[in-house]
Chains A and B, each alone.
Chain A
Amino acid sequence: MQNDRLTSASERGPLGPRSRRVLPSWVSTMVLLLPTYGWLTLAVFLPLLTMFVFSFMSATPMGKAPIVFTLKQYRAFIDQPYLVGIGINSLLIGFWTTLFCAVLGFLAAVALVQSTLGKTREILLILILLPFWTNGLVRVFSWTMVLRENGFLDNLLHMIAPDAGSIGFLYTRYAIVVGLVHGYLPYMILTCYIALVAIDDAIIEAASSLGARWWTILFKILVPLAAPGLISGSVLIFIPVIGSFMEPRILGGRVGVTMGTVIEDQFTQAFNWPLGASLSFTLLAVVLAIFATFSGVLRRGTAV
């Protein structure tokens, strides 16, 4: 169906000017967007709507239990107050991960833009994208090998200082953040890189010829001009990170309890889809509220 429309649109395209019948611009816009929106409706909106309906049910509608529509799932944060702590924990993990990604990613992107020697830029880009080619689960498990007691990190330390204790920090929040930063860093590098590459070298040359030190150039020119990249990268990272469940589960051990793992448990272990759905939508509302609060900053940043 959608393909039919697409072909008819492409046929109409060249026909238009020849027959001197110019279609209004909104028609072509609509035709071009239709496949995308059709797909979005099918793959995102409908499942989301189903989950939204589920979130008002009293039980998962797959057994014999009678289904009653109720708001009780949305009271979870009041009935089970420990969820508030988990929620704050998840937001903190999201905050720190995004912050580390922003700092490391921005610096990496600056290095990438500066490297103009031969093919270094291409090679660096490939090196940055390389982790994307391996499965995320494999990456996280390899971190467990590095961070655990008597892991690679400890072995390295003991090569230098044989008597030192263990510095392995597997099963802590730091381990979760390390794993998440590793997983999501490429997003930040790429968005910052795209923003930085657009900056005219002449501006930086002008600044340095007028005596600006490197930190002035960095904070007065590069960061403000790359703000759109930084902000879109942060949004891209923050949202999946607060819902992540694999990294906390594997790297967090006892402390690896986040909104992501709680929601996952509701769907897999507890078979309580309505509660899982309502928690997801509450989380979505919190994220939207955060973005709404900072929307002024976001708009100013991306408007540059």
Chain B
Amino acid sequence: MTELTRRNTMKLMSAALVAGVSFSSLPRKAFSAGSITVLNWQGYGTDEAWSVKAFTEKTGIAVVHDYYSSESEMLTKLRTNPGAYDLVVLNAARCAQAVAEDRLQPIDFSKVPNASTVDDSLRSNPNFSKDGKGFAVPWVWGMTSLAIREGMPVPDSYAVLADAAYKSRVAMDDDAIINVGVGALMTGQDINDPKDLAAVTTALKSIKPNVKLLWSTEDQWNKSFAAKEFDLSLFWSGGSVRSKRNSKLPVQFVVPKEGGIGWVDGLGIPASAPNAEGALAFANWLIDPVFYVEWATKVGAPASSNSAALSALPADDLSRQVHKPEYLKTMGIMSALPDDRREAFNNVWQEVKAFYAE
């Protein structure tokens, strides 16, 4: 009898593991024509029970979910489990990273008819495409821009932040990337790669007499705005909808001529996806007006990338009023930043904050 050495134990264990894995993956393989696995945040649209049910009834494709709790975890899961996922929800910045690592396959947009009404500026965003091929179906978006108390003059430029009329009436978002973005827009630069950081710093410092506070949570923003501590602020588009709808605050979201600072989540198909066809069908459903209207009105959702879906919302829907499709023309989308640039952005914001505090 062979001795139970460490090596033998390892062999035995790995054999058992392989057997187990292949066994458990067998049923999935057999059903692969009729099932897809989606990788997403939990409770973020794709796993709504009514939607999955409607999709399965319509197409016969069953939808299984796996979740991540951070964007880096999502990338790790893509790297370590090839063949496990058919559709993955990823932020524009992370999408660029996944495409660079060849983790995604090009999208066959002919299989996603609803994509014809997806805004071009989203589809052609460099984070989602490479060599003229799209690697993700843009799904939902939102942005950071100006919010002003209702009844006050609507600003048309970020220069209003430094306007003496708003002395001590401005609240800034305590976020380095957003503020450097605003400084870049104030000085006519690219939000993701401003060449003249000194000009950005000067522009942000010029706001000092107006800055009353720096907010870091939506709750803090709501409380301070309700207490009339400021009138003008950098704020999130989705946050302004919630403040108005849930807290009944008199806030108006404004996108000035320089454009908002945007984020987009896309739907990508891993290069190793066993059921790309099914994934495309589900992606098509996720940007379908029928799904979106239900999701946005019953549950609450960011803006759909599909302008047809957005305009299917009731005309008085707050989210529709805030996320106008024309804003997409001017909106800059936050991209992945190299480490040194991220550090430089953070240093700019620290320096500006120190100046505010003087």
CB-based contact B228/A269 at 8 Å: no
Cα separation A86 to B357 with both chains bound (whole Å):
8
CB-based contact A270/B346 at 8 Å: yes
Report which residue of A83, A170, A253, A256 has the largest number of chain B beta carbons within 10 angstroms of its beta carbon: A253
Chain A 243-256 interface mask (CB, 8 Å, partner B; 1/0): 00000011011111
Asked whether any CB of chain A lies closer than 8 Å to the CB of B214, the reply is: yes
| In the complex, residue of chain B having the shortest beta-carbon distance to the beta carbon of A275 | B343
CB-based contact B212/A272 at 8 Å: no
**Given A82-B351, A149-B229, are A269 and B214 also a contact pair (CB < 8 Å)?**
no
Minimal beta-carbon separation of A269 from chain B (angstroms): 6
Cα separation A86 to B202 with both chains bound (whole Å):
19
Minimal beta-carbon separation of B200 from chain A (angstroms): 15
Report which residue of A86, A254, A256 has the largest number of chain B beta carbons within 10 angstroms of its beta carbon: A254
Chain B 302-346 interface mask (CB, 8 Å, partner A; 1/0): 000000000000000000000000000000000000010011001
For A261, the chain B residues whose CB sits under 8 A away are 353
Cα separation A82 to B357 with both chains bound (whole Å):
11
B346 is contacted by which of A63, A253, A269 (Cβ under 8 Å)? A269
Question: Which residues of B, 191-237, contact A by the 8 Å Cβ criterion?
Answer: 208, 211-214, 216, 220, 223, 227-229
CB-based contact A253/B339 at 8 Å: no
**Given A148-B229, A171-B212, A249-B216, are A82 and B350 also a contact pair (CB < 8 Å)?**
yes
For A117, the chain B residues whose CB sits under 8 A away are none
Minimal beta-carbon separation of A145 from chain B (angstroms): 9
Chain A 37-54 interface mask (CB, 8 Å, partner B; 1/0): 000000000000000000
DSSP majority for the B interface?
Answer: helix
**Given A148-B227, A257-B353, are A80 and B347 also a contact pair (CB < 8 Å)?**
yes
For A144, the chain B residues whose CB sits under 8 A away are 223
Interface size class of A (residues with CB under 8 A): 20 to 34
**Given A59-B339, A254-B211, A254-B214, are A150 and B227 also a contact pair (CB < 8 Å)?**
yes
A254 is contacted by which of B220, B227, B356 (Cβ under 8 Å)? B356
Minimal beta-carbon separation of B9 from chain A (angstroms): 29
CB-based contact A270/B343 at 8 Å: yes
For A253, the chain B residues whose CB sits under 8 A away are 212-214
Asked whether any CB of chain A lies closer than 8 Å to the CB of B4, the reply is: no
The 9 closest A-B pairs by CB, nearest first: A253-B213, A257-B357, A270-B346, A82-B354, A255-B357, A254-B356, A254-B211, A257-B353, A82-B351
Task: Apart from A149-B227, A149-B229, list 10 A-B contacts with CB within 8 A.
Answer: A82-B355, A86-B357, A144-B223, A170-B229, A253-B212, A254-B208, A255-B357, A265-B176, A270-B176, A271-B342
Residues of B within 8 A of A (CB): 175-176, 208, 211-214, 216, 220, 223, 227-229, 339, 342-343, 346-347, 350-351, 353-358
